[in-house]
Copies of this chain bind each other. A is one copy, B any other.
Amino acid sequence: MKQIEGGITAVSGVRAAGVHAGIKAAEAKDVALIVTDVPATAAGVFTKNSVTAAPVIVCREHLSDGRAQAVIVNSGNANACTGEVGMANARRMAAATAEQLGIDANLVCVSSTGVIGQQLPMDKIENGIQAAAGVLSTEGGSDAAEAIMTTDTHPKSVAVEIEIGGTQVRIGGIAKGSGMIAPNMATMLSYLTTDAKINAETLQAALNRVVDDTYNLLTVDTDRSTNDTVLILATGCADNAEIVKPDGEDYEAFCDGLLFVCTELVKMLARDGEGATKLVEVVVKRARNRDDAEKAARAVAESPLVKTAVFANDANWGRIMMAIGKSGAEFDPYQVDVCLADYQLVKAGMDARYDEDKATGLFAQDPVRITIDLRAGDAEITMWTCDYSYDYIRINADYRT
């Protein structure tokens, strides 16, 4: 596996663009368009929030046949809590994109991120779609990565070249995370491309598997958006033998590549979480089962008291013990070991007589890795999060400034 430049447009058969359409107040790009030369096999995973934004509903509908040729995204307005007008606008975004590209509207996926509860400025959106269609290029991946940002501090893009059955296959991805435009919550969007030949069912299986181990193990502030979306488009331009079922060597090689791309994007998202100063990896080892491992890791990764301690370089292991204790995971407290990097803080549930200065120094490592050994089974999981700083409050308390 080799990491390469170019993000989503490193993949053959993919063009992209990002333009400024005036939806955001600032002079920033706010409409992204991703297009494949031919209809791609496609798969998606969407927010489980029952207050679902209109574009998510339309996107899920258009993906139901496992095919897509374009993704249109706007930032600056989430088109959520917008009723029937919002649904009509989401459909209009797909239709306007389809008209520009001369394809069927059913082949267009739609996403929005930004303010909740306001109607989309459709004239600006339509002008933006036209402008984006006019500048589509095989170098446009980075513009698209920029156009999906809200208050992310930088665009997030990854690509790899892998080998499947002796032939080169590429996988690229972009994502936006935990920035916001008041009044809004963080929306996580990610778009992945590949030139692998792979059928729609297998692509969906691979995406589900990788999302469970990456995006679903990312937590910035426990809040789940109305608009979260991960999409993958496979152009089939590579020369691999088509992957037609979710097992075997080729499938595993594809999943490995996809896992790498998604893991890198998730780390970028956590590191750029609102007000974050650090990327934090919470590893839970030897849990009774995966469910317990995730419960324990999530309780630590979402604990405000743990996250403020990490911000303060405070090896506050009592808070970690508290968090796993409240998680619902089954374990014997006096069997638990906790390490910061490879340095032991807790031995058999009690103070390991560690050196406070040395522990404080380990918070300078990137990422800050907290490993919790439950000695209750053989399940292991890694979750990604960030610390809680003053800036988290500043960013989320500042209103329309």
Using CB atoms and an 8 Å cutoff, list the residues of chain A in contact with chain B. 48-52, 78, 80-83, 115-118, 182-186, 221-226, 302-305, 308-309, 311-314, 316-319, 321-326, 329-331, 333-334, 346, 348-351, 388-390, 392-394, 396-399
* Sampled A-B contacts (19; CB under 8 Å): A48-B326, A49-B325, A80-B321, A81-B318, A83-B350, A116-B322, A117-B317, A182-B314, A183-B316, A223-B303, A223-B319, A224-B326, A304-B304, A308-B392, A308-B393, A309-B399, A311-B397, A312-B399, A388-B397
Tell me the bound Cα distance from A322 to B81 in angstroms: 10
Q: How far is the CA of A305 from the CA of B311 in the complex (A)?
A: 19
* Contact of A398 (CB < 8 Å), options: B312, B348, B349: B312
Task: Determine which of B222, B329, B348, B350 lies in contact with A304 in the assembled complex, contact meaning CB atoms within 8 Å.
Answer: B222
Do the beta carbons of B185 and A318 come within 8 Å of each other?
Answer: yes
**Contact for A183 among B304, B319, B388, CB less than 8 A:** B319
**Could you tell me if B81 and A185 are in contact, using CB atoms closer than 8 angstroms?**
no
Contacts A118-B351, A350-B117: A49 and B309 contacting too (C-beta < 8 A)? no
Contact pick for A396, options B226, B309, B321, CB 8 Å:
B309
> Out of B117, B221, B323, B397, which one reaches A312, CB within 8 Å?
B397
In angstroms, how far is the closest chain B Cβ from the Cβ of A45?
16
Whether the pair B333, A223 counts as a contact (CB closer than 8 A) is: no
Q: Report yes or no: B117 in contact with A318, Cβ–Cβ below 8 A.
A: yes
**A317 to chain B: closest residue by CB:** B117
Q: Are B393 and A326 in contact (CB under 8 A)?
A: no
B183 touches A83 (CB 8 A): no
